[in-house]
Structure 1
Amino acid sequence: METEFLISLLQIIAIDILLGGDNAIVIALASRNLPEKQRNKAIFLGTGLAIVVRVVLTIVAVYLLNIPFLYLAGGILLLIIAYKLILEEDEELDVKAGKNLSDAVKTIVFADIAMGLDNVLAVAGAAHGNIVLVVIGLLVSVPIIIWGSKIILHFMERFPVLIYIGAGVLAFTSAGMIVEERMIHSVFEGNDLLKYGLYVFLVVGVILAGILTNTFKKKRAK
């Protein structure tokens, strides 16, 4: 049980860091016009409120996933997110700088909600209904995202393989959600070959699909 808890916790932390890299950029953009003292307040207040909102949304998602076939739908959606993560596309963030502390905090929180839906879904799937995992995962990963985002982004740019590893983590989580779906769980129960075969198929499949799509796009661009 402890091993399962630790694996799920590491999954959640990896997901938070992987899908939360843009949050630090949002914080910087939203507070860039404020005086330094207010900027620090905006960062701490905005991040604190964003964490609270993220925890609440994830807890809601955990319970919603108990509805029949939502785990299956969530797993498929997460698989699409994993695939899109690999695609080499430049996304520009359009975030307005706050004129005062209140504006900056609002921008940070609302941007986090808008950008964090994929994160919420992935964490809810990895948590398997354990709210403690959700809270611990966020408390560990959010400071890493805020203070270490530049380092994380630097390594991801320098070592693109990290993106593929991250997509593999999401695909692994997706497979877990599909296997855990109550309406089809009996199909996988007692059939380890089918169960672990699905994990391998989805992880390898997403990574290969991403590589092939990127290769095709590069050839087409030439």
Structure 2
Amino acid sequence: MEIFLQADTWVALLTLTFLEVVLGIDNIIFISIASNKLPEHQQKKATRIGLLLAMVFRILLLLGVSYLIGMKDPIWNIELSWISAGITGQSLILIAGGIFLLYKSTSEIHHKVEGREEAASSDTPKKSSTMLNVITQIVLIDIVFSFDSVLTAVGMTNGIEGALTIMIIAVIVSILIMLAFATPISNFVNKHPTIQMLALSFLILIGFMLVTEGAHLSHTVIFGQSVGAIPKGYLYFAIAFSLGVEMLNMKIRGSGNSGKKS
């Protein structure tokens, strides 16, 4: 308890909690899109299960933080005429997670553009196994986001006394905050198709960023060019800018509809 008498502890805790919430928004968006395939009475349950699983995975990864840090050593080396890399455990997880996000996001966009989802929901009832499929997808994406979140937490609290305690508290508080706001965010995303498409586009960006970050950690060189890390600030700015433009579009559409009614 002595660590909570230090100002650095509270600064680190508040900052880390805020970052965990920001990083968790991507998780909420994916969970809301995945759970939208379920009957309405099961969607809240899937969302809560998904976020609770995210908390469990992050705490388990935090407890194994020393092992995560040790995953920087190359597992195997790739030496070809056009590419060279030293694949590490960290980079392997990030690349695999990024590829999964790219596949899932593009397949969801394909289904929505082709209109198969609407046809399936109107012509045939949803399968009873859908809940298991959705939870499986949520578990896989939780692992990806949890790993990225834990690496952020480790980097922020490095050298601070009681770092593990601070990280676990920050994760628990952030998940509780996300549980409180998950349903409104999920309802908003599901009620606005353009926001849902925008969210899927964000997941493509995040998937690409994870792949490049994994390649950067592997010191990958392609055709003599080193793969650099994409600054997350650029990504967050692009997401914020796109959301701002979409909010303006929604406001214009809303005012246009109200004008027609009058």
**Normalising to structure 1: TM-score of the pair?**
0.50
Higher strand share: 2
Higher alpha-carbon Rg: 2
